[in-house]
């Protein structure tokens, strides 16, 4: 195996994986398709002493956990192609936990860096806990080393052609090389020329395209073989104008165009594969037909690569957004009443016209329903406007990631829940880096009632505050149903009425009251333990809420600050 600049980092995986109880687990190797990942994992597989298994994505889905668990080394190729459903993610997590716990090695390969894999955050974090190794595009030194080892007799002119080409992976290099394949000069043969290279290539394809060659000069024989190959390409739909223009010309020119064209066809086939993996709903119909036509034209490769890369990013963003939306909630279940009507009307207006611009704050007290209303907005945009690209972030996601990288000109709408929590954790300056990217787009943030909400207009031009007020009894009743569903309980009508009468806040107040009701069934020992934990955590909880500047719900605030903490007192 050749080790050079492009793969010397990833080649370390061979040593790491073969060390028992390696500190690097899992090992994740990523790089472009054809960059040499398979070569490295084959080396690992051959050198590893113990039970071992290599799985493709489809094999991973088919194999049972029991079969996989019998191995000391597990290698999964192209992990990003495993369908990210609940069953597969659960299986992957279970295997990772088992292998890590028992000190057995996992090696994964993929095309993207860990944060761009289509799995839930738990899997991504498990991958990142090990070591990530990248295979880089080939540089000139890499190509020269490959020449010395695999094509030492290739003439200088052809070497320069490959050095100047856009070949960036080992697979592309050998594909290019195979098209101008050379053989070592045997005794008595003519010196190596492009014509000889072309003749050798033609011999290789004769088995695939048996045909009676016309008698005549060597050049005419080559030309006829070439015309036959050209016919096949045209039948497959590829545009061959440039090659056809030189078919009757100098054989050297034909050879040069032939080599370039076959390399470009390989690139088009790869672009077709990438295009097929994109969420087609995000591409406008007119542009879709244009792309599909250009996927057969070698002249359009640079523009195609740019277009497909852009839609790959947007498709990835859409997949990530889908993971953060709560699909268990819907507009059909939503209760509209006076306290939330302003916010509800605002959300409906946005869904009717998502192309508007501006910065909006949905502001209200804790538990009043801000997260639910912005989640419904995300649902509506996702279902009705696949061509509208939007981000939907919880504040925890923003804190843990380099968020500005995604906020490009391609993003139409930005939704951020609990933005005050982000500001408190990361500071106003970091939030400004998001605000500065909000011009010429629609940005909607939720914010708990907080002094900065009233001053937001001072910081952000063209902003508006949309208020959600303390829930009334109709909304509280629906919230109580949600609490019961979450906890898997069914309270009596009398108990529900009692809780609703006591509730002085929103969802979290109801949660506390339901927990209080449930605690009445605890033993004395369990009650004492719960009370001690509550009292122990009380100062920290009060201090945290005060720092956030929230207007505490009266009922809960009283429970925390009263020495006769109600949980202990009533039990």
Interior/surface letters 472-490, b for 16+ CB within 10 angstroms, e for the rest: eeebbbbbbebbeeeeeee
Query: In 3-state terms, what secondary structure has residue 488?
Result: coil
- pLDDT per position as a tens digit, 156-192: 777 777 777 777 888 777 776 766 553 333 334 444 4
Contact 379, 348 (CB under 8 A): no
- pLDDT per position as a tens digit, 7-31: 888 888 887 777 766 678 889 999 8
- pLDDT per position as a tens digit, 188-212: 444 444 444 444 444 444 444 433 3
Q: What is the pLDDT of residue 396?
A: 57
Closest CA to 455 of 363, 541, 372: 363
Q: What is the mean pLDDT of the chain?
A: 77
Return residue ranges of the chain for CATH 3.40.50.300.
7-134, 324-470
Mean pLDDT of the region 67-91: 87
What residues have CB less than 8 Å from 179, skipping those under 6 apart? 201, 258, 259, 262, 263
Q: What is the pLDDT of residue 96?
A: 92
Strands 105-110 and 358-364: unpaired
Q: What is the pLDDT of residue 20?
A: 63
Out of 2.70.170.10, 1.10.287.70, 3.40.50.300, 3.40.50.2020, select the CATH number for domain 7-134: 3.40.50.300
Query: In 3-state terms, what secondary structure has residue 487?
Result: helix
Cα separation, 543 vs 412, in Å, equals: 38
User: 180: which DSSP letter?
Assistant: T
Cα separation, 518 vs 304, in Å, equals: 61
Cis peptide before 439 (omega within 30 of 0): no
| pLDDT more than 70, % of the chain | 75
Cα separation, 443 vs 269, in Å, equals: 39
Q: Name the least confident of 136-145, 159-168, 305-314, 318-327.
A: 159-168
What architecture is domain 324-470?
3-Layer(aba) Sandwich (3.40)
For the chain, the straight-line distance linking the first and the last C-alpha, in angstroms and rounded, comes to 72
Q: Which strands form 442-448's sheet, in the order they lie side by side?
A: 390-394, 413-417, 442-448, 358-364, 463-468
What residues have CB less than 8 Å from 199, skipping those under 6 apart? 218, 222
Q: Name the least confident of 164-173, 465-474, 521-530.
A: 521-530
The pTM (predicted TM-score) of the whole model is 0.50
Enclosing H/E stretch for 17? helix 12-18
């Amino acid at each position: 195996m050749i080790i050079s600049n492009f793969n010397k980092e990833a080649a370390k995986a061979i040593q790491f994986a073969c060390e028992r109880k390696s500190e690097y687990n899992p090992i994740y190797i990523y790089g472009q398709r054809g960059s040499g990942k398979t070569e490295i994992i084959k080396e690992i597989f051959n050198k590893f002493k113990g039970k071992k298994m290599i799985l493709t994505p489809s094999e991973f889905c088919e194999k049972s956990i029991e079969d996989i668990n019998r191995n000391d080394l597990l290698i999964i190729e192209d992990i990003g192609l495993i369908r990210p459903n609940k069953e597969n993610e659960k299986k992957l997590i279970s295997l990772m936990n088992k292998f890590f716990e028992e000190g057995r090695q996992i090696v994964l390969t993929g095309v993207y860096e860990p944060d761009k894999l289509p799995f839930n955050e738990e899997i991504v974090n498990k991958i990142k806990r090990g070591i990530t190794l990248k295979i880089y595009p080939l540089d000139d030194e890499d190509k020269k080393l490959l020449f010395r080892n695999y094509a030492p007799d290739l003439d200088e002119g052809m070497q320069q052609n490959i050095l100047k080409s856009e070949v960036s992976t080992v697979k592309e290099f050998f594909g290019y090389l195979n098209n101008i394949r050379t053989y070592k000069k045997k005794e008595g043969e003519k010196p190596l020329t492009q014509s000889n290279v072309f003749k050798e290539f033609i011999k290789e394809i004769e088995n695939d395209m048996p045909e009676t060659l016309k008698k005549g000069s060597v050049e005419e024989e080559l030309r006829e073989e070439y015309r036959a190959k050209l016919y096949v390409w045209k039948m497959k739909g590829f545009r061959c104008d440039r090659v056809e223009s030189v078919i009757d010309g100098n054989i050297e020119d034909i050879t040069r165009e032939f080599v370039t064209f076959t390399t470009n066809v390989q690139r088009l086939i790869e672009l077709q594969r990438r295009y097929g993996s994109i969420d087609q709903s995000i591409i406008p119909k007119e542009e879709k037909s244009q792309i599909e036509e250009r996927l057969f034209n070698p002249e359009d490769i640079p523009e195609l690569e740019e277009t497909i890369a852009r839609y790959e990013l947007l498709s990835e963003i859409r997949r990530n957004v889908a993971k953060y939306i709560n699909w268990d909630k819907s507009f059909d279940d939503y209760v509209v009443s006076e306290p939330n009507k302003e916010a509800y009307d605002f959300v409906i207006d946005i869904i009717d016209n998502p192309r508007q611009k501006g910065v909006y704050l949905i502001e209200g007290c804790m538990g009043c329903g801000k997260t639910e209303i912005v989640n419904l907005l995300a649902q509506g945009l996702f279902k009705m406007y696949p061509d509208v690209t939007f981000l939907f972030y919880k504040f925890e996601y923003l804190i843990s990631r380099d968020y500005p990288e995604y906020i490009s000109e391609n993003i139409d709408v930005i939704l951020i829940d609990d933005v005050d929590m982000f500001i408190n954790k990361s500071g106003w300056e970091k939030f400004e880096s998001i605000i500065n990217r909000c011009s010429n787009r629609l940005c909607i943030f939720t914010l708990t009632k907080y002094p900065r909400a009233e001053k937001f207009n001072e910081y952000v031009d063209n902003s508006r505050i949309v208020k959600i007020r303390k829930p009334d009894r109709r909304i509280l009743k629906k919230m109580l149903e949600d609490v019961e569903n979450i906890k898997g309980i069914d309270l009596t009508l009398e108990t529900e009425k009692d809780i609703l009468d006591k509730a002085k806040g929103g969802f979290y107040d109801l949660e506390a009251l339901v927990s209080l009701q449930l605690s009445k069934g605890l033993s004395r020992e369990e009650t004492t333990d719960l009370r001690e934990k509550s009292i122990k955590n009380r100062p920290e909880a009060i201090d945290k809420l005060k720092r956030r500047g929230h207007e505490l719900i009266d009922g809960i605030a009283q429970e925390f600050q009263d020495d006769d903490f109600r949980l202990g007192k009533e039990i």
